[in-house]
Amino acid sequence: MDKNEQFEALGGRKILEVVAKEFYDRLYEHPWLSKFFEEIPQERIEKQQVDFMQAALGGPNVYCGSLPIPAHQHIYIDEEMFDLRQVILIEALKKCGSSTELIDKWLKIDSSFKSRIVKSSIAECEKRFFTDNILAFPNPKDQRKAA
Ligand code: HEM
């Protein structure tokens, strides 16, 4: 099987679209993670994620966004947030009936960016362009504890 046949055997673009919809439905409803997506139309990020994963999983490369490291340089992502996002991703993958092979491959790709996306302080964030905003939101759970 060539690379594209392997991608099709995993479920092809269709399964990526179903998982991305389920995943971002959950992120856009989440009390903490939703804050990072307030300015981003859900359909746009879903399409970017599907295009990106399609190329990363060996399917046709039609992705034309930034690579994950520059795409997140303005976002204060700590380890707790990264791990929480991954728990939600696993739930979405399972809910959509993904094969174990797809889950393993998707998580391997996702995790490979962890050390370069996670920051140890807000000072590590950098604007992507002059008028960009640094995105940093504390976990609402910690704010309740502090109050
Ligand atoms: C907690 C972790 C993460 C958060 C909060 C997060 C949040 C975001 C946000 C807000 C954007 C939109 C940026 C913009 O267009 O202004 C974005 C884009 C994107 N993210 Fe993440 N992300 C996280 C982790 C990841 C990981 C691990 C990957 C690896 C596959 C990833 C892949 C992407 C891609 C491909 C884009 C599209 C970039 C573009 O359109 O140029 N994200 N993310």
| pLDDT band (50, 70, 90) for residue 144 | low
Mean pLDDT of the region 30-48? 97
Q: What is the mean pLDDT of the chain?
A: 96
Ligand 1 geometric centre to CA of 11 (Å):
23
Domains along the chain with CATH numbers = 3-128 (1.10.490.10)
Residue with CA nearest ligand 1 atom 2: 82
| Residue 86 three-state SS | helix
pTM: 0.95
Does residue 88 have a pLDDT over 90? Answer: yes
Among 126, 122, 118, smallest CA distance to 138 is for 122
Contact between residue 15 and residue 96 where contact means Cβ atoms under 8 Å apart: yes
Does residue 41 have a pLDDT over 80? Answer: yes
Ligand 1 geometric centre to CA of 144 (Å):
27
Q: Which residue has the tokens 């993958």?
A: 93
Q: Which of 45, 87, 112 to mutate to test the pocket of ligand 1 (most atoms within 8 A of CB)?
A: 45
Q: Which residues pair with 135 in a beta bridge?
A: 75
